[in-house]
Amino acid sequence: MKTNVTKLLALLFASSMIIGCTSNQQSGESAEEAAVEESAPTITLTKAPASPEYPDAQLSKLGVTTTATDSGFVVDYNFDVQNYELGAQTEDAATRGIANSGKGQHIHYIVNNGPYAAHYMPGVNDMLDEGNYVVLAFLSRSYHESVKSEGAFYVENLTLGDVEANDADLTAPHLFYSRPKGSYKGDDTKKVMLDFYLLNTTLSADGNKVRATINGTEFMIDEWAPHYIEGLEMGTVTIKLELIDADGNAVPGPFNSVERTVTLEE
């Protein structure tokens, strides 16, 4: 009898040890998972502070020439810029804490909502294939923030070659992607500007919005203004912008949903 009691006590002790070890292991895994979650950076998107305004800045087209070649078409735009100085540093550039062009203020030139080309003189030279295009140009501060005043942009349909014209409706709402773009290094990775260009629409809490999805984190933007992205990890950053209506539905248009990647390096 004594032997049986001893065996029973030993069995109970062993069971409690197994349960205790299992519980500790599970607790340890939970704590480890929690630590990983706590250490993961949180991505934030905040409206940028006010920047110098240029209400009288004007960008207009003086002319465009297209020249056919064996590999496509050479396109030369000649713009006129008024009340805005290309090549100058925007007065608050040194205090913004974001990437800035040492070449100064410029024109963002965008074709079919592709990545922009920066031009520091009013002439723009491009090489395009036969086809239909929407060309947008707008004035930019030296830190790549678009000038959003009424006369600071130019947009048009452009048809090249022996193709049927298929013009976009330039009176409809359109969303064009601008920043961020390319690679960011060092201090420029701490705060990255998000900026886009709108035509024929406004944003509001109860109207159209821009949905920004940054590395899987979703933000709703209800004001046309630049925003700063912070909390990004080094590596590839994926950014998707969508123009949506008050009910969350996509606003029809060829450019109203766009996705880009940029790279952050130490």
Alpha-carbon distance of 167 to 165, in angstroms, equals 6
Alpha-carbon distance of 161 to 95, in angstroms, equals 47
Q: What is the pTM of this model?
A: 0.85
Query: What is the CATH classification number for the domain harbouring 225?
Result: 2.60.40.10
Is residue 191 pLDDT above 60, yes or no?
Answer: yes
Q: Which residues pair with 108 in a beta bridge?
A: 118, 138
Domain that holds residue 75: 47-265
Give φ, ψ of 110 to 5 degrees: -125, 135
| Residue 9 lies inside a defined structural domain of this protein | no
Alpha-carbon distance of 119 to 145, in angstroms, equals 14
| Residue 91 lies inside a defined structural domain of this protein | yes
Buried b (16+ CB within 10 A) or exposed e, 104-136: bbbbbbbbbbeebeebeebebebebeeebbbbb
Q: Each residue of 217-231: pLDDT tens digit?
A: 999 999 999 999 999
Per-residue pLDDT, 38: 55
Contact (Cβ atoms closer than 8 angstroms) between residue 51 and residue 90: yes
Q: Each residue of 78-107: pLDDT tens digit?
A: 999 999 999 999 999 999 999 999 999 999
| Residue 24 lies inside a defined structural domain of this protein | no
Looking at the structure of the chain, the number of domains it has is 1
